[in-house]
Amino acid sequence: MSVRTPDHPVTDLFVERWSPRAFDGSSMPEQDLKTILEAARWAPSAFNIQPWRFVYALRGENAWQPLVELLNPFNRDWAQHASALVFLFTDQEVDGKDGRPNRANGAHSFDAGSAWAHAALQATALGYHTHGMAGILKDEIHEKLGVPERFKPEIAFAVGRRGDANQLPESLQSREAPSGRKPLTEIAFPGRWT
């Protein structure tokens, strides 16, 4: 049951999804993470290019600590207690056809947002929480993860079960609750920006 109340009727999943920082450090079945990434795979994209790519690790795997170390120190402190970490990249180029050169993909970041939203909602449907992080070490990611330069690191996200907020620094404990949203009247305008 959500503590959020939408102004207009929406499916509960949308208001139940929120981004905690306190995770319980439990292990997560790989199949659950694959289900979350499968939902992301089905996101819409411009011209169905599907520019998103993921690099992930589950807690306890050899790849876990290298991914943790690619988070900025603030995010590293709490995200290291998640069950999975996923880095989301997008292809900035569209492959040329019929001998034409590659061209820029102007919608790659927009499409990545769609994939991230699908992943976050699927995680919520499975009883997990996610927290997206822009605070990643973007200058180090390509080399350390072997990612081709044409792929832009967008975000990382932590996945796991909620933990005790008391494990967080005192400054974050009071923020460990679902946040509200601006009213629709502030963000959606009929016919013309007002």
pLDDT tens per residue, range 28-63: 999 999 999 999 999 999 999 999 999 999 999 999
pLDDT of residue 1: 40
Q: What contacts 50, CB < 8 A, 6 or more positions away?
A: 41, 43, 111
- For 147, residues 6+ apart whose C-beta sits below 8 A from its C-beta are 53, 55, 89, 141, 153
The answer to whether 24 touches 81, Cβ cutoff 8 Å, is yes
What is the distance between the terminal CA atoms of the chain, rounded to a whole angstrom?
Answer: 35
Q: Which parts of the chain sit beneath pLDDT 70?
A: 1-2
**Residue 58 near residue 84, CB atoms below 8 Å:** yes
Q: Which amino acid is at 70?
A: L
Taking the whole predicted model, whether its pTM rises above 0.75 is answered as yes
Residue 33 CB neighbour total at 10 angstroms: 22
